[in-house]
Structure 1
């Protein structure tokens, strides 16, 4: 949860910061359009490219966790990382409903053939 919180903070602050730089002196509607585009852009770069290039987002890196393929613990492939990112975008708004229904756990755990593992377990 801490890694997800760090990653969310990066997306929120990065998205707002980038939108403020790009939408300087624009109307309110244009500003919020920039905010939405920047949120998705920062989130995509952070979660997809970070996973593919470094096997981790910043939050996962700080907590010594890596994203690997479930089958062979290899580096995630681009399209699998994109699928996992899109799956996460659907999970975020559905999480309160899932909890309200009394379900435990995360229905998307190990989604798209990718898993989170501790860094020290990869060395074995």
Structure 2
């Protein structure tokens, strides 16, 4: 739930900021032109949030607010720029398709669970990562893990 709230915050902050940037130019524009004007700033702000900010501080704005960090597997270290760019591109394709996966996974009246969509949650107790080899973890869990690893090394 925390991860979905973080994604929602990221989307909200990106769209509101882009809307404020584009507003002076979109007042007199027709709707298709206004949407076209909005796409550029949304992509730039999304890249800055998901790649640049995550490379610098370990999480995007929504994840920072929700207390989540993005780590590289298996060492729980900082992700590299290539991993972050792959994750961002994957997210641009994955997130818009979630309603489709949700509709295909649970046909009405069957109560079925699952489906063909990508998995990003724990399945049968095994943590899975996104295709870039990254994982989102709570900041407190990451700190506890690092203390435990440092204690074993001593």
- The answer to whether the Cα contact below 8 Å between 2:26 and 2:37 also exists between their aligned partners in 1 is no
Which residue is equivalent to 2:118? 107
- Residue 41 of structure 1: how far off its partner (Å): 0.7
Which residue is equivalent to 2:141? 121
| Unpaired runs of at least 5, structure 1 | none
TM-score for both structures, normalised by structure 1: 0.86
Match of 1:53 among 56, 62, 68: 56
Which residue is equivalent to 1:6? 9
Q: Report the CA distance shift for 1:25/1:13 in structure 2 as closer, same or farther (over 3 A).
A: closer
| Unpaired runs of at least 5, structure 2 | 106-112, 121-128, 148-154
Which residue is equivalent to 2:109? none
TM-score for both structures, normalised by structure 2: 0.71
Secondary structure of 1:101's aligned partner: helix
Which residue is equivalent to 1:85? 88
Q: Which runs of 4+ in 1 moved over 6 A?
A: none
Q: CA RMSD in A?
A: 2.0
Larger Rg: 2
How far does the alpha carbon of each residue in 1:11-66 deviate from its partner, in whole angstroms, 9 at most, with x for none? 11011112225x36764355433211011111111111111111111111111110
